[in-house]
Amino acid sequence: EPEVTQTPSHQVTQMGQEVILRCVPISNHLYFYWYRQILGQKVEFLVSFYNNEISEKSEIFDDQFSVERPDGSNFTLKIRSTKLEDSAMYFCASSWTANQPQHFGDGTRLSIL
Partner 1 sequence: GQNIDQPTEMTATEGAIVQINCTYQTSGFNGLFWYQQHAGEAPTFLSYNVLDGLEEKGRFSSFLSRSKGYSYLLLKELQMKDSASYLCAVPLGSNYQLIWGAGTKLIIKP
What residues make contact with partner 1 under the rule CB under 8 A? Answer: 31, 33, 35, 41-45, 48, 50, 55-56, 91, 95, 98-99, 101-107
Q: How far is the CB of 91 from partner 1 (least distance, A)?
A: 6
Provide the sign of the torsion angle of the four alpha carbons 27, 29, 32, 33, taken in this order.
negative
Q: How far is the CB of 66 from partner 1 (least distance, A)?
A: 17
* Closer Cβ to partner 1, 44 or 65, answer by number: 44
* Closer Cβ to partner 1, 15 or 43, answer by number: 43
* Closer Cβ to partner 1, 55 or 73, answer by number: 55
* Closer Cβ to partner 1, 32 or 82, answer by number: 32
Q: Which residues contact 41 (CB under 8 A, 6 or more apart)?
A: none
SS3 of 10-69 = EEEECCCCCEEEEEECCCCCCEEEEEEECCCCCEEEEEEEECCEEEEECCCCCCCEEEEC
Q: How far is the CB of 16 from partner 1 (least distance, A)?
A: 27
Q: How far is the CB of 56 from partner 1 (least distance, A)?
A: 5
- 3-class DSSP assignment, residue 74: coil
